[in-house]
Amino acid sequence: MTFFSPQTQTAIEFAADLFRQAKRAVVLTGAGLSTPSGIPDFRSEGTGLWSRDEPLEVASLNTFRIAPEKFFQWFRPLASQIFCAQPNPAHFALAELEQAGCIQTIITQNIDALHQKAGSKNVIEMHGTMLTLTCSQCYHQVDAASYLTLFVEKGEIPHCPKCGSVLKPDVILFGEQLPQSAWLHAQRDARQCDLMLVAGSSLEVLPVAGLPMQALDRGAHLIIVNNSPTYLNVRADVAIMENVADIIPAIAERALHG
């Protein structure tokens, strides 16, 4: 059992009360939700992926088109971590809240599909997914599982079974636009919600980082759970800077079971 300071316990209880009162709660999750599952985030000093690599050199659409082998060389360790990762208590707690009708939608910046593995159904993937690959030439789409197994274990770059061209993971690289349908859906839900929980996101990546402001501008309550402060902590009803894998389950337990 995790023990919290009196201040944190009060914040958890207040957040749970907001969930119980909400009619249309939406969750926005970022990389910090999956770090307890062993997947590194991108911006943490010293441990984030961008503290070691220049994103435009390894993870851009231009690099993938010109030198796909350079992209896949960088991508292989991350793909291995994602491929082996399992949902952590925060993922399961959010799935439980959704199943209980306390959450309408989960908007995620993550590509790891851990929300779905935990049982969440209504997930909007803003930055794509690792579950599928698409041919860079003929646009034939395939399930990623078998291709990623060979890629992770042997380093074999995936090729299209129809035309032989390189298959691209269906994740959003630098230089690519967000999927339009996902973005429109996310904006609609942010504007219609009466409560937004931001979990594990530093709110530094636009345009997704602007979604909580859209919710606030329409009168929604805001809960932020993240290890580091965000630009909206001062606007939040509740801001808890602690481990999401501890705090989110505690909020869910209090909201669902009192």
User: Which residue numbers are catalytic?
Assistant: 127
Site of tokens 């402060």: 229
Q: CA–CA separation, 144 vs 131, rounded Å?
A: 5
- For the record, the structure tokens of 61 come out as 């659409």
Asked if 175 contacts 220 with a C-beta cutoff of 8 angstroms, the reply is no
Angle at 67 between CA 66 and CA 68, to 5 degrees: 110
- Cβ–Cβ < 8 Å for 193, 216: no
CA distance 211 to 155: 38
DSSP H stretches of helix in the chain? 6-21, 55-58, 61-66, 68-84, 89-99, 114-118, 145-154, 180-192, 211-217, 244-257
Query: Which two structure tokens, joined as six digits, stand for 214?
Result: 């859209």
> In whole angstroms, what is the distance from residue 1 CA to residue 150 CA?
40
Beta bridge partner(s), residue 166: 159
The secondary structure of residue 110, as a DSSP letter, is -
Cα–Cα separations (whole angstroms), residue 124 to 34, 106, 189: 16, 6, 10
Number of H helices, E strands in the chain: 10, 9
